[in-house]
């Protein structure tokens, strides 16, 4: 499959996984990501690859664990309540230093919530989410094109750092259709995985484990994990800047909210309000330096998110009190560009929000 | 001079962490002997449970992993799917297989995943200090059934082989015991058949071992063997519950 096509976000992400050389898909039905599994159910067997509909999210993520332990590229997709269940497996994957890709097409929460767009899983994704001291790489697409591109990229990053890479989308991004340009060149093959379980013919047996009972062994293992995370924090922050150089108010938003904010920047500038936007593409590692740099010349920062100030915490940490940070938080509702402009104007007037 | 008895290649020289009289060492040895005899050590991948046998990789010289508690069969089923040339087994206790992993156990069996499940039923949680397992016997005392398991209060002992035999997926299901040398020889035959069901038939097999836990049964090792023979086999009858050979015949 190549050229330009019209696709829904869920299917684009699935095709991104296929083209990146994903060997196995495991998942359990949940709205609003069902098109992902349906796409893989057809496409993976066609290519002689593995598709299993699991009996639960717990099972699906443990199948990802297994396939990855065997040295293969594996993915699971779900939405918020389902991703909560996957946290057990993600913790084991982190501890066992296994590459894995998890796509979360977020819906409203907490609990069963609704099936509309939300960004309420920011903390869950960027803070580890399961038990123990670990991180996952978190990629935030903002278009159907990026659903494809970043899902493919997630495999490369997961393999490079031997950790879980989460694609954090939302119901809008999963459901909406946009043109998608498919790459002409195939993706590079995965790196060699000498640690994988292949059967011990010709070498010593290997074990993929997360239990470290020896004296001091677990602490050393945790230090090793954090060396990896430090490297990712140095090399992997990604973001997009829109008119941020001369902005009086810098908007910070990801995913669907970033699309609204892009519109708000244009609308604001028509009204004489100099807005700019920093759109984090990686939520972990967070592009703190880019935000600090853009904010240095601005009077304030407005964080726009479909949650009540989850990413705003990271922005405040990035700025360390140097600029005021306001929040436009709409849990489980997409804010409008006009609303963003009004909030930014209010911030400039110093009336607070 | 031909040795009559020696350590299998698949078994490491490692001091055991298992208690005196525990059945895990016997099952490890049976697995190691059969893996040697079938010549499959280089292409075997195992999944250890969370429980006493979580350290099985210290004893078995094969590639192994250590999935989350109860997810063991799904992790190894996925390994088998992406590496069909390997021989894949899960090694699970009663808590892992029949409590926290019940859903995984049923669905892997129902899909007929071509893996071999070795199920060590010692009627108690060993690693956590002797709590009630799904397979704990009625009247059996554990730390969470201090006056004995009561059917009305705690539920009945769960028969895994019988449960799985209601499904169409499995090709071979057998329950054996480790209570005497004869029984152990028979258990070895079942281990071999469990592996061959996967290798020759590309089908699902489960072998359940009634296994002693003298420590948490609070018995001598000898009394524990008698308990298996005289009590456990009444609730968990030995035998074949599914066999592709007789089905085909």
Give pLDDT tens digits for A254-306. 999 999 999 999 999 999 999 999 999 999 999 999 999 999 999 999 999 99
Residue pair A274/A246 in contact (Cβ under 8 Å)? The answer is yes
Residue B200 lies in a domain: yes
Residue B129 lies in a domain: yes
pLDDT over threshold 90, residue A2: no
Please give the Cα distance from A259 to A242 (Å, whole number): 11
Q: Sign of dihedral through CA atoms B105, B106, B110, B111? A: negative
**Chain A residue whose CA is closest to B110:** A55
Residue B217 lies in a domain: yes
Are the beta carbons of A206 and B63 separated by less than 8 Å?
A: yes
Residues of chain A with Cβ-Cβ distance to B63 below 8 Å are 197-200, 205-207
Give pLDDT tens digits for A182-193. 999 999 999 999
Indicate the pLDDT class of residue B1, thresholds 50, 70 and 90. confident
Residues of chain A with Cβ-Cβ distance to B71 below 8 Å are 58-59, 62, 65, 88-89
A226 and A334 share a domain?
Answer: no
Domain boundary among A235, A252, A269: A235
pLDDT over threshold 60, residue A351: no
Indicate the pLDDT class of residue B50, thresholds 50, 70 and 90. very high
**Which residue segment(s) compose the domain that A341 sits in?**
239-349
**Mutate: best of B68, B73, B105, partner A, most A CBs <10 A:** B68
Please give the Cα distance from B121 to B242 (Å, whole number): 18
Residues of chain A with Cβ-Cβ distance to B79 below 8 Å are 66-67, 69-70, 197
> Which residues, 6+ apart, have CB-to-CB distance to A201 below 8 Å?
B42, B43
The verdict on A67 touching B (C-beta cutoff 8 Å) is: yes
Predicted pLDDT of residue A1: 75
Predicted pLDDT of residue A21: 98
For the segment B67-72, the average pLDDT, to the nearest whole number, is 98
A329 and A205 share a domain?
Answer: no
Predicted pLDDT of residue A236: 98
Q: Which of A333, A330, A328 has the alpha carbon at shortest distance from A347?
A: A328
pLDDT over threshold 90, residue B193: yes
Please give, rounded to a whole number of angstroms, the shortest distance from the CA of A241 to a CA of chain B: 41
Residue B16 lies in a domain: no
Domain boundary among A213, A235, A257: A235
**Chain B residue whose CA is closest to A51:** B81
**Mutate: best of B13, B40, B45, B74, partner A, most A CBs <10 A:** B74
Rounded percentage of chain B residues whose pLDDT exceeds 70: 100
Burial class (CB in 10 A: 0-12, 13-18, 19+), A178: middle
Please give the Cα distance from A96 to B213 (Å, whole number): 30
Q: What is the domain-level CATH number for residue A49?
A: 3.40.50.970
A86 and A186 share a domain?
Answer: yes
Residue B112 lies in a domain: yes
Give pLDDT tens digits for B124-138. 999 999 999 999 999
Burial class (CB in 10 A: 0-12, 13-18, 19+), A271: exposed
The verdict on B65 touching A (C-beta cutoff 8 Å) is: yes
Q: Which of B73, B217, B232 has the alpha carbon at shortest distance from A59?
A: B73
Predicted pLDDT of residue A203: 98
Please give, rounded to a whole number of angstroms, the shortest distance from the CA of B223 to a CA of chain A: 32
Are the beta carbons of A56 and B103 separated by less than 8 Å?
A: yes
A190 and A291 share a domain?
Answer: no
Q: What is the domain-level CATH number for residue B140?
A: 3.40.50.970
Give the CA radius of gyration of chain A. 20
Domain count, chain B: 1
Are the beta carbons of A66 and B41 separated by less than 8 Å?
A: no
For the segment B65-92, the average pLDDT, to the nearest whole number, is 98
Residue B5 lies in a domain: no
Domain count, chain A: 2
Residue A271, Cα to own-chain centre: how many angstroms? 33
Domain boundary among A202, A235, A268: A235
**Which residue segment(s) compose the domain that B128 sits in?**
24-248
Predicted pLDDT of residue B249: 66
SS (H, E, C) chain A: CCEEEEEEHHHHHHHHHHHCCCCEEEECCCCCCHHHHHHHHHHHHHCCCEEEECCCHHHHHHHHHHHHHCCCCEEEEECHHHHHHHHHHHHHHHHCCCCEEEEEEECCCCCCCCCCCCCCCHHHHHCCCCCCCCCCEEECCCCHHHHHHHHHHHHHHHHHHCCEEEEEEEHHHHHCEEEEEECCCCCCCCCCCCCCCCCCCCCCCCEECCCCCCCCHHHHHHHHHHHHHHHHHHHCCCEEEECCCCCCEEEECCHHHHHHHHHHHHHHHHCCCCEEEEEECEEECCCHHHHHHHHHCCCEEEEEECCCCHHHHHHHHHHCCCCCEEEEECCCCCCCHHHHHHHHHHHHHCCCC
Enter the tokens of residue A174.
């999963």
The predicted model scores a pTM of 0.97
A252 and A183 share a domain?
Answer: no
pLDDT over threshold 80, residue B221: yes
Residue B76 lies in a domain: yes
Are the beta carbons of B82 and A23 separated by less than 8 Å?
A: yes
Q: Which of A307, A319, A281 has the alpha carbon at shortest distance from A108?
A: A307
Q: Which of A94, A79, A67, A72 has the alpha carbon at shortest distance from A28?
A: A79
Burial class (CB in 10 A: 0-12, 13-18, 19+), B127: middle
Please give the Cα distance from A99 to B75 (Å, whole number): 15
C-alpha dist (Å) from residue A315 to A223, A293, A312, A334, B61: 26, 12, 5, 20, 50
Indicate the pLDDT class of residue B231, thresholds 50, 70 and 90. very high
**Chain A residue whose CA is closest to B113:** A52
Please give the Cα distance from A215 to A220 (Å, whole number): 10
A334 and A190 share a domain?
Answer: no
Q: What is the domain-level CATH number for residue A316?
A: 3.40.50.920
For the segment B111-117, the average pLDDT, to the nearest whole number, is 98
SS3 state of residue B154 = helix
Predicted pLDDT of residue A332: 87
Are the beta carbons of A209 and B81 separated by less than 8 Å?
A: no
Give pLDDT tens digits for A80-97. 999 999 999 999 999 999
The verdict on A73 touching B (C-beta cutoff 8 Å) is: no
Are the beta carbons of B43 and A207 separated by less than 8 Å?
A: no
Please give, rounded to a whole number of angstroms, the shortest distance from the CA of B110 to a CA of chain A: 11
The verdict on B113 touching A (C-beta cutoff 8 Å) is: no
Are the beta carbons of B79 and A64 separated by less than 8 Å?
A: no
Give pLDDT tens digits for A118-148. 999 999 999 999 999 999 999 999 999 999 9
Enter the tokens of residue A48.
């002689």
For the segment B40-44, the average pLDDT, to the nearest whole number, is 98
CB atoms within 10 A of CB B218: 12
The verdict on B75 touching A (C-beta cutoff 8 Å) is: yes
Please give, rounded to a whole number of angstroms, the shortest distance from the CA of A205 to a CA of chain B: 5
pLDDT over threshold 70, residue A353: no
Enter the tokens of residue B124.
């108690």
Residues of chain A with Cβ-Cβ distance to B11 below 8 Å are none
This complex has an ipTM of 0.97
A40 and A161 share a domain?
Answer: yes
The verdict on B28 touching A (C-beta cutoff 8 Å) is: no
Q: What is the mean pLDDT of chain A?
A: 97
Indicate the pLDDT class of residue A352, thresholds 50, 70 and 90. low
Please give, rounded to a whole number of angstroms, the shortest distance from the CA of A76 to a CA of chain B: 13
Residue B17 lies in a domain: no
Rounded percentage of chain B residues whose pLDDT exceeds 90: 96
Predicted pLDDT of residue A350: 79
Q: Which of A121, A187, A126 has the alpha carbon at shortest distance from A155?
A: A187
Residue pair A302/A252 in contact (Cβ under 8 Å)? The answer is yes
A188 and A297 share a domain?
Answer: no
Give pLDDT tens digits for A144-179. 999 999 999 999 999 999 999 999 999 999 999 999
A222 and A247 share a domain?
Answer: no
Give pLDDT tens digits for B17-27. 999 999 999 99
């Amino acid at each position: 499959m190549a050229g330009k096509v019209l696709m829904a976000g869920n299917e684009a992400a699935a095709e991104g996984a296929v083209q990146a050389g994903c060997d196995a898909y495991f998942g359990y039905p949940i709205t609003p990501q069902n098109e992902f599994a349906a796409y893989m159910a057809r496409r993976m067997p066609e290519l002689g690859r593995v598709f299993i509909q699991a009996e639960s999210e717990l099972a699906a993520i443990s199948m990802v664990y297994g396939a990855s332990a065997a040295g293969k590229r594996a993915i699971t997709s779900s939405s918020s309540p389902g991703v909560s269940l996957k946290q057990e497996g993600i913790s084991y994957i982190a501890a066992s230093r296994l590459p894995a890709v998890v796509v979360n097409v977020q819906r409203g929460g907490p609990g069963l919530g609704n099936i509309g767009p939300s960004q309420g899983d920011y903390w869950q994704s960027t803070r580890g989410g399961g038990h123990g001291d670990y991180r996952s790489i978190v990629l935030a697409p903002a278009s159907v094109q990026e659903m494809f591109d970043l899902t493919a990229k997630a495999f490369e990053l997961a393999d490079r750092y031997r950790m879980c890479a989460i694609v954090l989308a939302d119901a809008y991004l999963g459901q909406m259709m946009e043109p998608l340009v498919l790459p002409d060149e195939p993706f590079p093959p995965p790196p060699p995985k000498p640690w994988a379980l292949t059967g011990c013919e010709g070498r010593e047996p290997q074990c993929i484990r997360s239990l470290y009972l020896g004296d001091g062994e677990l602490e050393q293992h945790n230090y090793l994990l954090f060396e990896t995370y430090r490297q990712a924090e140095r090399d992997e922050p990604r973001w997009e800047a829109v008119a941020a150089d001369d902005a009086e108010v810098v908007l910070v938003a990801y995913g669907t909210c970033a699309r609204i904010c892009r519109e708000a920047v244009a609308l604001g500038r028509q009204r004489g309000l100099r807005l700019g936007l920093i759109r984090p593409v990686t939520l972990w590692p967070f592009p703190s330096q880019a935000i600090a740099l853009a904010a240095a010349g601005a009077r304030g920062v407005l964080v726009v998110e479909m949650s009540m100030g989850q990413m705003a915490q990271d922005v405040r940490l990035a700025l360390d009190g140097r600029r005021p940070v306001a929040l436009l938080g709409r849990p489980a509702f997409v804010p409008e560009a006009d609303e963003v402009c009004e909030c930014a104007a209010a911030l400039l007037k110093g009336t607070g929000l | 001079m031909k040795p009559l008895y020696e350590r299998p290649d698949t078994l490491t020289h490692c001091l055991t962490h298992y208690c005196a009289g525990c059945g895990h060492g016997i099952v490890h040895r049976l697995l190691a002997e059969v893996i040697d005899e079938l010549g499959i050590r280089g292409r075997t991948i195992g999944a250890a449970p969370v429980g006493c046998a979580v350290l099985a990789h210290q004893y078995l010289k094969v590639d192994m992993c250590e999935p989350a508690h109860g997810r063991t069969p799904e992790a190894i089923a996925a390994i088998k799917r992406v590496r069909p040339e390997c021989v894949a087994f899960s090694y699970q206790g009663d808590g892992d297989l029949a409590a926290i992993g019940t859903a995984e156990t049923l669905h892997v069996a129902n899909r007929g995943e071509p893996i071999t499940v070795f199920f060590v039923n010692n009627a108690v949680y060993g690693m956590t200090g002797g709590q009630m397992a799904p397979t704990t016997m009625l009247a059996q005392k554990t730390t969470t059934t201090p006056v004995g398991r009561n059917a009305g209060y705690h539920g009945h002992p769960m028969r895994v082989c019988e449960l799985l035999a209601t499904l169409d997926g499995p090709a071979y299901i057998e329950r054996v015991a480790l209570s005497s040398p004869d029984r152990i020889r028979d258990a070895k035959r079942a281990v071999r058949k469990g592996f061959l069901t996967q290798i020759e038939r590309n089908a699902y097999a489960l072998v359940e071992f009634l296994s002693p836990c003298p420590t948490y049964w609070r018995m001598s090792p000898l009394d524990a063997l008698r308990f298996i023979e005289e009590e456990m086999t009444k609730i968990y009858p030995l035998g074949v519950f599914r066999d592709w050979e007789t089905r085909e015949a």
